[in-house]
Amino acid sequence: MNRAPLFLALALLGLALQLAVVGVFLSQEGLDVGEIGSQMVETTMAVLAITDLGLTAIAFLVWLPGEARRAGIERWWPYAVAVLGGVCFALPLFLAAREREREGAPAAA
């Protein structure tokens, strides 16, 4: 079963949702970096979410080079840069590439 299209759809959905939230913020607050910081630490739940996503991003970045090498993906760094679009974008994008690589590889005996 080729799951690459599903992972790619999830990556695009993740990016679209991130951009929608940023768009709402910008329309309400403008490009106010201080307000971004304030809202990120305003509540305990916001700090929990930022901590969770930050540590998930770090874990992904540590795991990425080795998994890319194992999967036969030569250029892993674009997926590291994609983390700037959110882990919800970068991880499924990498998983789609890994699935495409697996589909192209001959079956193991």
Could you tell me if residue 43 is inside a domain? yes
Residue 26 maps to a domain: yes
Note the pLDDT of residue 109: 39
- Evaluate whether residue 108 is within a structural domain: no
What are the φ/ψ torsions at residue 103 (nearest 5 degrees)? -65, -35
Are residues 90 and 83 in contact, defined by beta-carbon separation less than 8 angstroms? yes
Residue 42 resides in a domain: yes
Inside any domain, residue 87? yes
- pTM for the whole thing? 0.85
DSSP designation for 72: T
Is 80 buried (19+), middle (13-18) or exposed (0-12) by CB count in 10 A?
A: middle
For residue 1, the model assigns a pLDDT of 76
Question: pLDDT tens, position by position, for the chain (109 residues)?
Answer: 789 999 999 999 999 999 999 999 999 999 989 998 898 889 999 999 999 999 999 999 999 999 999 999 999 999 999 999 999 999 999 999 999 998 885 544 3
**Structural domain tally of the chain?**
1
Residue 65 Cα distances to 8, 50, 51, 79, 100, angstroms: 20, 24, 23, 10, 17
